[in-house]
Amino acid sequence: MAGFSRTLASSSLVLTSLVLFSISFCEARDILVGGKTDSWKIPSSQSDSLNQWAEKTRFQVGDSLVWKYDATRDSVLQVTKEAYLSCNTSSPVAEYRDGNTKVKLNKSGPFYFISGTKGSCEKGQKLIVVVMSSRRRYTGISPAPAPMEFDGPAVAPTSSAASFKASLVLALGGLLAWVLF
Ligand SMILES: *[C@@H]1O[C@H](CO)[C@@H](O)[C@H](O)[C@H]1NC(C)=O
Ligand SMILES: *[C@@H]1O[C@H](CO)[C@@H](O)[C@H](O)[C@H]1NC(C)=O
């Protein structure tokens, strides 16, 4: 009987660890712009445009955008709303030309990006990403229901890779306890 409840206890520990693990796993994602490599280009049609992709994607504080492109031919400029609207490449907020660009979405609200290649922004190579504030913060006790801002899977974000590692350790520890007892 004692053995049984111990098994039960360690099973629920494993379960808890796995839940924590998967929660951590869902947050702070690296999001490939356009969903695939070579998406940073002049769109061939409106339906192909990057903003259509962005509208269907959920961005949260802590996520990173990743661009993969040919660094000899293109670049990524982070710009103001005004520069975005007028395709003004002359004084970007930030400029990336390494071919493998990663930008951390470190605050909520809109981020504006345009191509640094002359004429490309005018032809639609631009992107607005609207980052949601993390209202579904995992507290460790019970995730309080928060108003849904968009349709999509519920994600309980915390903010760091450290918590990911912590729950991995916890999950492995739980598994070990389960095997041993
Ligand atoms: C582009 O932006 C710069 C800096 O804000 C400004 O000086 C320039 O006049 C703008 N160019 C155009 C064509 O609007
Ligand atoms: C976000 O990152 C940018 C560039 O690294 C930095 O200039 C800015 O201060 C950061 N904002 C916040 C709210 O941390």
pLDDT at 179: 53
Q: Give tens-digit pLDDT for 73-104.
A: 999 999 999 999 999 999 999 999 999 999 99
| Closest approach atom of ligand 2 to CA 104 | 2
Q: Considering just the CA atoms, what is the radius of gyration of the chain in Å?
A: 21
In a domain? residue 138: no
Our count of domains for the chain comes to 1
The whole-number average pLDDT for the span 14-26 is 53
Q: What is the dihedral of CA 69, 121, 56, 67, to 10 degrees?
A: 20
Mean pLDDT of the chain: 77
User: Containing domain of residue 69, as a range?
Assistant: 30-132
Q: Specify the CATH number for the domain of residue 95.
A: 2.60.40.420
Q: Give tens-digit pLDDT for 137-156.
A: 544 444 444 444 444 444 44
Q: What is the dihedral of CA 145, 150, 155, 157, to 10 degrees?
A: -90
Reported as type and span, the H/E element at residue 163 is helix 161-180
Residue 107 CB–ligand 2 contact under 6 Å: yes
In testing the pocket of ligand 2, which one of 61, 102, 106, 131 has its CB within 8 Å of the most ligand atoms? 106
Residue 51's CB: how many other CB atoms inside 10 A? 14
pLDDT at 127: 97
Ligand 2 centre to CA of 106 (Å) is: 6
In a domain? residue 92: yes
